[in-house]
Amino acid sequence: MTIPCVPRQLSPEETALAEFLLSVEFPGHDELRKQLKLAQVTGTCECGCGTILIRVNHANDKAVTTERVVVEAYGKGVDVLMFVRDGALSSIEIVDHGDARPLRYPKPEELSLWVPPPRSSGG
């Protein structure tokens, strides 16, 4: 469960991970890259996994996305998912398959990117 925090800049590690996720092409990619510069962290997961909630201030460039999860990354025992809501970055979720907390923050060089294919409508 995520708990609100005083809005803050993304940490260097969080920025590096976000830039890595946005280094691959997918629908809405260009707008999200612009939004990242305006993004603030507004909440973090209480369990210590590193999941963050993101708010984009004055998002003039709305991303037209078909998926809520626009891009994912996979590492050893860890998945990273970037969520978009109403055309703006909304969270970077970190899912791991172990019990270690706080979880060591995933590094881009340990991850492989994956863009979820668009679902067929009605599915």
Residues near Zn ion (CB under 5 A): 45, 47, 49, 51
What's the closest the beta carbon of residue 89 comes to Zn ion, in angstroms? 18
Report long-range pairs for 89-92 (Cβ below 8 Å, ≥24 apart): 89/18, 89/32, 89/35, 89/36, 89/39, 89/54, 89/56, 90/53, 90/54, 91/2, 91/51, 91/52, 91/53, 91/54, 92/14, 92/17, 92/18, 92/21, 92/51, 92/52, 92/54
For the bound state, the minimum distance from the C-beta of residue 103 to Zn ion, rounded and expressed in Å, comes to 8
The H or E element containing residue 96 is strand 88-96
Question: Measured from the CB atom, is 35 or 44 closer to Zn ion?
Answer: 44
Smaller CB distance to Zn ion: residue 51 or 91?
A: 51
CB of 62 to Zn ion, least distance (A): 28
CB of 30 to Zn ion, least distance (A): 30
Residue 45 or 54: which CB sits closer to Zn ion?
A: 45
By beta-carbon proximity to Zn ion, the closer residue of 63 and 92 is: 92
